[in-house]
Structure 1
Amino acid sequence: MKVAVCDDDCYVLAILEKFFGKYKNRQEESISRRYFINENELLFYLEEKQDLDIILLAVNTPRIDGFTIAEKIRRKDKRVKIIFLASLIHCAVEGYKYNAIDFLMKPLKYSKFEESLNRAVEQIYEEDSNYFLEKVDSEIYKIYFSDIIFIETYNRNTMIHTSKKDILSYKTLKKHEEVLDSRFFRCHIAYLINLDKINEIKTRDILLENNYSVPYSKHRKNQLMSEITLYYGEKL
Structure 2
Amino acid sequence: MLEVFICEDNVEQRKRLTSYITNYIMMENLDMKVVISTANSSEIIDYLKANRVTGLYFLDVDLQEERSGIALGAEIRQYDNQGAIVFVTTHSELTYLTFTYKVEAMDYITKDQFTDIQKRVIECIDTANKRYLQNKHSNRKVFQTKTGDKVISIDYTDILFFETSPQLHKIFLHATNRQVEFYGKLKDILELDSRFYRCHHSYVVNKDNIAEVDIKKREIRMINGEICYASSRYLKGLKDVVNH
What's the TM-score, normalizing by structure 2? 0.55
Query: Does the residue aligned with 2:105 lie in a helix, a strand or coil?
Result: coil
Alpha-carbon deviation of 1:190?
4.0
Could you tell me which amino acid in structure 1 is paired with residue 136 of structure 2? D
1:6 equivalent in structure 2: 7
1:99 equivalent in structure 2: 104
1:22 equivalent in structure 2: 23
Could you tell me which amino acid in structure 1 is paired with residue 104 of structure 2? N
2:32 equivalent in structure 1: 31
What's the TM-score, normalizing by structure 1? 0.57
Asked whether 1:114 is paired with 2:110, we answer no
**Aligned pair in 2 of structure 1 residues 211, 25: CA closer, same or farther (>3 Å)?**
closer
CA–CA distance in 2 between the matches of 1:127 and 1:100? 18
Asked whether 1:65 is paired with 2:73, we answer no
Query: Does the residue aligned with 1:84 lie in a helix, a strand or coil?
Result: strand
Contact 2:3-2:56 within 8 A present in 1 as well: yes
Asked whether 1:145 is paired with 2:141, we answer yes
Which range is displaced more, 20-29 or 37-46?
20-29
Alpha-carbon deviation of 1:39?
1.4
Unpaired runs of at least 5, structure 1: 132-143, 174-188, 192-204, 213-236
Alpha-carbon deviation of 1:20?
1.5
CA–CA distance in 1 between the matches of 2:122 and 2:185? 36
Alpha-carbon deviation of 1:23?
1.4
4+ residue stretches of structure 1 with deviation over 4 A?
A: 148-153, 166-169, 205-209
Indicate the structure with greater helix content. Answer: 1
**Aligned pair in 2 of structure 1 residues 100, 206: CA closer, same or farther (>3 Å)?**
farther
Q: CA RMSD in A?
A: 3.4
CA–CA distance in 2 between the matches of 1:74 and 1:9? 24
CA–CA distance in 2 between the matches of 1:149 and 1:6? 35
Alpha-carbon deviation of 1:90?
1.2
Alpha-carbon deviation of 1:209?
8.4
Contact 1:152-1:159 within 8 A present in 2 as well: no
CA–CA distance in 1 between the matches of 2:10 and 2:134? 33
Contact 1:84-1:95 within 8 A present in 2 as well: no
**Equivalent of 1:50 in 49, 52, 65:** 52
Query: Does the residue aligned with 1:61 lie in a helix, a strand or coil?
Result: coil
1:198 equivalent in structure 2: none
Unpaired runs of at least 5, structure 2: 146-151, 163-171, 190-244
Q: Percent identity?
A: 15
1:86 equivalent in structure 2: 89
**Aligned pair in 2 of structure 1 residues 208, 54: CA closer, same or farther (>3 Å)?**
farther
Contact 1:4-1:52 within 8 A present in 2 as well: no
Query: Does the residue aligned with 1:29 lie in a helix, a strand or coil?
Result: coil
Contact 2:59-2:86 within 8 A present in 1 as well: yes
CA–CA distance in 1 between the matches of 2:144 and 2:88? 31
Alpha-carbon deviation of 1:87?
0.9
Asked whether 1:211 is paired with 2:188, we answer yes
Query: Does the residue aligned with 2:92 lie in a helix, a strand or coil?
Result: coil
CA–CA distance in 2 between the matches of 1:35 and 1:167? 38
Could you tell me which amino acid in structure 1 is paired with residue 78 of structure 2? R
Query: Does the residue aligned with 1:90 lie in a helix, a strand or coil?
Result: helix
CA–CA distance in 1 between the matches of 2:184 and 2:51? 27
